[in-house]
Amino acid sequence: MTGREPLLEVAGVSVRFGALIAVNRVSLSIPRREIVAIIGPNGAGKTTLLNAVSGFYHPFEGRIAFEGRDRTHLSPPDVAALGIARTFQNLALFKGMTVLDNIMTGRLLKMGGSFLLEALYWGPARRQELEHRAFVERIIDFLEIQAIRKTPAGRLPYGLQKRVELARALAAEPKLLLLDEPMAGMNVEEKEDMCRFILDVNHEFGTTIALIEHDMGVVMDISDRVVVLDYGRKIADGPPAEVRSDQAVLDAYLGVAHE
Amino acid sequence: MGRGGDLKAVESTSTSALDPEHDTFPKLVRDNARRLAGKVAIREKDFGIWQAYTWSQYFEQARLIAQGLAALGFARGDRVAIVGDNRPQLYWAVMAAQALGGVPVPIYQDSIEREMEYIVEHSEARFAVVEDQEQVDKLLGVRARCRHLQHVVYGDPRGMRGYTEPGLSSLAELSELGKKFDVSHPGHFDAELARGAADDIAIICYTSGTTGAPKGAMLSHRNLITTARNAARFEGLREDEEVLSYLPMAWVGDHVFSYAQAIVMGFTINCPESAATVLADLKEIAPTYFFGPPRIWESILTSVMLRIEDAARPKRALVHFFMRLAQAIERRRLGRQAISLWQRLLYPLGSLLVYGPLKDNLGFSGVRRAYTAGEAIGPEIFLFFRGLGINVKQLYGMTEASVFVTIQRDGDVRLDTVGTPITDVEIRISDAGEVLFRSPGVFQGYAKNPEATQQTLEGGWIRSGDAGFLDRDGHLVIIDRAKDVSRLADGTMFAPKFIENKLKFSPYVREAVCLGQARPCVTAFINIDLAAVGSWAERRNIAYTSYGDLAQKPEVYELIRAEVERVNASLAEDAVLRGAQVKRFLILHKELDPDDEEITRTRKVRRGYIAQKYATLIDALYSGQDRVQVEAKVTYEDGRTGTMRADVVIRDVGAPAPVSR
């Protein structure tokens, strides 16, 4: 739609679990700096598609290219090293660790150095730690979670845990951010906050974002483009206003009988 | 605007003579930048670290902002709205405006658009310097209706990328503009700074009156410098004080503590990371000089008690034992009674086990003097903190007096007074019993409001609006707001705030409104304290969903009834007030909120408005009903309004003490 170079290119990807085809020849491309929402009824294959992109599942056919290079069969750590970070539908924080430490784990990929120097907290290891901490503090400031910096993540209310998870993903300085239902289970105010943070991340860091979301109001408000999946197939792809009035989408959501 | 000729006469006493090199705040900052160049003037916790700025940086940053404003066409007399949390940049902007002969007008950062519009329009502000996007959005929302407002400058650029409105710039851009202007107009800043004089207006503080529209109290440099200095000398403040600047910048108290006195004394102020981190930042800074209105002391005490209730039984018993001891000793000390040998011996043990660690944990280990003012403080709360060994004292002040009127001196602290007049302050009690005072801090009148000025100023004396008296030792005692003291239908004297304060001394009662003028008896609206009552309910396995739900639980009504009975018992001891006991009460279904105009931003009850808004509830209180349906308009934070319907229960209170079960 904008002629921008796509950051992520998914071409004819299918994922199957035994006889079940969860994602069926889906193609989509995500241009740099855009916010793309992936929507669809339960079981449409949204999370599976995200898992395929982040390397948890490997497609049975089709190819995935990131920044123009094929990376269909990479493992999750390799995908993360390329610059793709994600959050999870059911929070995956280290509950006993503080918020600060949780976010610091997001920097792990950027950390090098020897085990011994790290353990002694000496020389380059010390300097490196300080640099990473400074970066993490910028994210803490950005997401306004200063007050809970030292709180164990497991003690926080759900909405805040979601925000901490976003912070951890941002700590990896991703080029592409995958958000799996960032606003599920939140009240209206928390949702508004989260929307603002997602937009700010996109504006300030220029991060490209793909998100799965059920709240249509949210999707229409923040995304540049909406991709609709149903039974593993892509049934629509376009600007929010267009997708909203698409007959196939209406049918999918209203539950018309499928042949 | 500007000062009216009739107001000149206000300036009185000779001690307020200031030399022309040091007679405005910008000149004093310039002096600090030379004298104390490398000393830290201001710290801000940002990105998790305390970032420090010295007095020379303070002056330089303010100078750049001033030059930037000058480049935008700032003229002498221009007003600048200042909106945001306590940030170094905003304090610099205050100085920048003053240096150019302008007048800063700080506005409460949680004001909704309508309130902001009123002050921006009334003060005729041409400029606004604000913290972030939130405030920019509000100002852009009202700009169409504020004819004078041309430039909005923001500190935090976050989220501002997409804004293309004209007249909008960041502080960084403004400072760049200032650097260029500095090159093209090298002498401008110094010349403007030199033109400033002691009697220029230094600030306009809008006081959120409990009746009518806010009034803009104008204070001159002379008012503030003299009063700040007098109070500092009276209390023996030093150059090495550390202050936590956490109260709203729009409140005259913060302006005096964090700006005027900091500059006059050259001490250091500390800006918290965010409103939510204040208690943690307090602990890290351990201020030497601390100010908190009673509600802050209450909330600190509540948080301590909640944590103690969660502690293991032996620990809890230990804390309770030593806290009772400390309060008993402090009570005797304040009453000038002898302290027993036993108590003397136990106190050091308590210091070691409880008082010291607790003080350290709260961030009060370094406090040399702390104050409470604005409202009466509960004796239990006052004794608790003094018992810990924190030198908390009461003071009495008003915006119109540049804050300080009376202070309790060290060694002369009482429970029921607000202390003696500070240097150069005279106090008189009018025939009607109202407190009048006169001082070098007496303000220059309300901006564009000569009627209100006339009502408040009488021949240089300020009518405080408070009913009170001077006791044998010259201590001032405040009873209530003069206009609120009234009589019940049978002629019994009724001082609502007096009873409300007694009610609010309970940890479970957050707010109370007493009614009774020309009525047969006293009744009360209660707001419960959600944190305290919530925790109480959890310990008793009482499930609730929201404030409104918890407030109407029968168990909570029982809890509050016991509190009301306790207040009645204490009222019964007073010969004059025994007739004014609370006979019926209800717990409001919602919290009183400044956004709904029920209380002011400094949490003073707006009686007139409440009487009108809750007329149905008042009728029900006096008609003997035991439950009533109510519909209330609520205002959300973004200014939208909605309606809320609720069932409210009314309870009778027995006059005698409750029968033991």
As assigned by CATH, the class of the B21-274 domain is alpha beta
Instruction: Assess A147–B contact: CB distance below 8 Å, yes or no.
Output: yes
Residue B603 confidence class, pLDDT cut points 50, 70, 90: confident
Retrieve residue B548's tokens.
């409104």
Chain B residue at shortest CA distance from A200: B159
Using an 8 Å Cβ cutoff, are B496 and B516 in contact? yes
Pairwise CB contact (< 8 Å): A146 & B162: no
Pairwise CB contact (< 8 Å): B46 & A141: yes
Q: Which of A138, A141, A203 sits opposite B159 (nearest CB)?
A: A203
**Under CATH, domain B294-440+456-481 is a member of which superfamily?**
ANL, N-terminal domain (3.40.50.12780)
Pairwise CB contact (< 8 Å): A204 & B47: no
Domain boundaries defined on chain A: 1-83+174-259, 98-172
Using an 8 Å Cβ cutoff, are B25 and B402 in contact? no
pLDDT of residue B5: 36
Question: What is the sign, positive or negative, of the torsion defined by CA atoms of A70, A73, A78, A84?
Answer: positive
Pairwise CB contact (< 8 Å): A146 & B48: yes
pLDDT of residue A222: 92
Q: How many CB pairs under 8 A join A and B?
A: 33
Question: What mean pLDDT comes out for the span B255-266?
Answer: 97
ipTM value: 0.77
Q: Which of B158, B274, B277 sits opposite A204 (nearest CB)?
A: B158
As a CATH number, domain B485-652 is: 3.30.300.30
How many other C-beta atoms lie within 10 A of the C-beta of residue B492? 16
Q: Which contiguous run of DSSP H or E holds residue A250?
A: helix A247-254
Using an 8 Å Cβ cutoff, are B307 and B290 in contact? no
> Which range in B27-31, B336-340, B412-416 is most confidently predicted, on average pLDDT?
B27-31
Q: What angle (nearest 5°) sits at the alpha carbon of residue B90, between those of residues B238 and B80? A: 120
Q: Beta strand pairing status for B268-271 and B289-291? A: unpaired
Q: Beta strand pairing status for B127-130 and B151-154? A: parallel
Is the pLDDT at B655 greater than 60? The verdict is: no
As a CATH number, domain A1-83+174-259 is: 3.40.50.300
Strand, helix or coil for residue B335: coil
Which amino acid belongs to residue A114? S
Tell me which long-range contacts B179-186 makes (C-beta under 8 A, separation of at least 24): B179/B64, B179/B67, B180/B71, B181/B67, B181/B68, B181/B70, B181/B71, B182/B64, B182/B67, B185/B67, B185/B70
Q: Beta strand pairing status for B168-170 and B457-458? A: unpaired
Pairwise CB contact (< 8 Å): A203 & B47: no
Cα–Cα distance, B478 to B541 (Å, whole number): 42
Using an 8 Å Cβ cutoff, are B588 and B648 in contact? yes
Which chain B residues are within 8 Å of A163, Cβ to Cβ? Answer: none
Cα–Cα distance, B42 to B91 (Å, whole number): 9
DSSP assignment of A54-108: TTSS--SEEEEEETTEE-TT--HHHHHHHTEEEE-SS----TTSBHHHHHHHTTG
Retrieve residue A194's tokens.
């989260």
Cα–Cα distance, B179 to B175 (Å, whole number): 6
Instruction: Assess B161–A contact: CB distance below 8 Å, yes or no.
Output: yes
Chain B residue at shortest CA distance from A189: B637
Pairwise CB contact (< 8 Å): B280 & A137: no
Question: If we measure between CA atoms, which residue out of B91, B86, B95 comes closest to residue B45?
Answer: B86
Mean pLDDT taken over chain A: 88
Mean pLDDT taken over chain B: 90
Question: If we measure between CA atoms, which residue out of B26, B167, B165, B152 comes closest to residue B82?
Answer: B152
Retrieve residue A229's tokens.
């999946």
Tens-digit pLDDT profile for residues B506-552: 889 999 999 999 999 999 999 999 988 998 998 899 999 889 899 99
Going along B482-559, which residue ranges are E strands? 486-487, 493-494, 509-515, 522-528
Which chain A residues are within 8 Å of B48, Cβ to Cβ? Answer: 133, 137, 140, 146, 149
Is the pLDDT at A242 greater than 60? The verdict is: yes
Using an 8 Å Cβ cutoff, are B42 and B50 in contact? no
Q: Beta strand pairing status for A233-238 and A225-230? A: antiparallel
Widest distance between CA atoms in chain B: 84
Tens-digit pLDDT profile for residues B467-518: 888 888 899 988 888 888 888 998 888 888 888 888 987 889 999 999 999 9
Retrieve residue B89's tokens.
């940049």
Retrieve residue B536's tokens.
């109480």
Retrieve residue B249's tokens.
């910048």
How many other C-beta atoms lie within 10 A of the C-beta of residue B89? 26
Bridge partners of residue B290, in order along the sequence = B370
Asked whether this chain's domains B294-440+456-481 and B485-652 adopt the same fold, the reply is no
Is the pLDDT at B582 greater than 70? The verdict is: yes
Chain B interface, best mutation among A33, A141, A190, by max B CB count within 10 A: A141
